[in-house]
Amino acid sequence: MQVAIDSARAVRGRTSPNPWVGAVVVRDGKVVSVGATAPYGGPHAEAAALAGVDARGATLYTTLEPCMPFEGKRTRPCAEAIIEAGVSRVVISLSDPHTPVRGQGAAFLRAQGVQVDLGDGSEAVTELLRPYLKFRQTGLPYVIAKFAVSLDGKVGAPLAGITWLTSEPALARAHSDRAWVDAILVGSGTVLADDPALTAREAGSLLARQPLRVILDGRGRTDPAARVLGPGALVVTSKSSPQWRRAVAATGAEFLELEYREAGVDLRELLRALGQRDIVSLIAEGGPSVLASLFDGGHVDEVHAYVAPLILGPAGIPLVPSGARAGPVRPPRSRDRTASPGCPHSRIHRRLVAVERPVAPTRESFGAMNMPMPSREPSPCTIRDASGGRPVCPATATAGTAGSAAEGTHGTNERTRLLHAGGSAPLPARSHR
């Protein structure tokens, strides 16, 4: 089953809106073939593993319940392919929560005389398929809230020349995350401040698969020349002018008009609309007001907080503005370890990984922050996993104050993810404009 899980992990998100599944055919204790789900419309993992091999009397391991026929299905049902191949035993990690499949694939196989075992690797697969499981159970996308912050809760200090808190490896991780999610969400304030492209790139080159770029702009503030606009962009608005809409539409961007409320665009309505477009997962990259509204509405499923061991002081822009109401988000008391998770998305996912180590600011930077210049560069930090695991060393790459202005303070790093729900990471402000 671990081979099947690894195969599924390798195609995470790239099969959306289908789940990323792995399958392995085993005979006499040896792996015969391995398969993974192809991009939408292509073969599923079970079909890929069975293709071109003699599977009569073999065991098939699969990370998710084999599919059954349903309206609109593009591929042959995997449960039928398994019977035709002569497989004698199927080991399944999780039941599929998708209504046309749920429980029926396993029942069909048993009715045809196939031995079916359920639950092997269920915890790992539940972890891997969190976005898909939430989407199928609620119709809403899985929301990852992402922000970079200093130790004193600041997102940058432009007057001190500090606008980027993370490193080049962090930026590479940001693009790695963008490559597997279905959408990136930002507010018009982030577009105005950073002019981001919000594309997924590797070594500077655009990847073939790009996430939908979602811009919240209820009042029509985005410059029609902004880099984020164009084909593949969805502008969510309400009170914008017809002239502005015509200018933005000329770039090739789409519009989604939603009701405007006191706090801004209705995010619940937005998430429903994105779910109807088969958006399974999205990363909310800012700014603070957008993130605040997502937290306030209970829409956040996972937090990526990139923490730099740096005190920015009075010159810093706070993640939580003065006077804002923000309370801690409590972690779950227990984890659901069943083979068929009841509601794995009902908590904010938590894991503490590491922090960034920035280059020490200059004397001029400290002067702008009204802080004394330290006598030497700060020592690197070591952070222990929040669940009590082993210590994790910080990233060794340095983070300068220069970098892509388009990315602002929203870089990420494999070793700088704080997936935490215990209140130690500051939460953003509540209002969204």
Burial label for 287, CB within 10 Å (0-12, 13-18, 19+), is buried
- Rounded to whole angstroms, how far apart are CA atoms 157 and 358? 14
- Rounded to whole angstroms, how far apart are CA atoms 203 and 270? 33
Chain Cα centroid distance, residue 119: 25
Q: What residue type is assigned to position 136 of the chain?
A: R
Strand partners, 303: 145
Q: List strand residue ranges (DSSP E) for 260-301, in order.
A: 260-261, 264-265, 281-286
Q: What residue type is assigned to position 279 of the chain?
A: I
CB atoms within 10 A of CB 426: 20
CB-CB contact of 146 with 283 (8 Å): yes
- Rounded to whole angstroms, how far apart are CA atoms 74 and 400? 49
Phi, psi of 393 (to 5 degrees): -75, 150
Half-sphere exposure of 207 (CA within 13 A, CB side): 18
CB-CB contact of 297 with 199 (8 Å): no
Residue 349 DSSP symbol: B
Inter-residue long-range contacts of 375-383, CB under 8 Å, 24+ positions, other chains counted: 378/309, 378/310, 380/309, 381/309, 381/355, 381/357, 383/352, 383/353, 383/354, 383/355
Q: Which residues are part of the catalytic machinery?
A: 46
Q: Which residues contact 292 (CB under 8 A, 6 or more apart)?
A: 324, 326, 427, 428, 429, 430, 431, 432
Q: Which residues contact 329 (CB under 8 A, 6 or more apart)?
A: 295, 300, 303, 348, 421, 422, 423, 427
CB atoms within 10 A of CB 205: 7
Q: What residue type is assigned to position 235 of the chain?
A: V
Residue from 156, 159, 206, 127 nearest 306 by CA: 156
- Rounded to whole angstroms, how far apart are CA atoms 161 and 268? 37
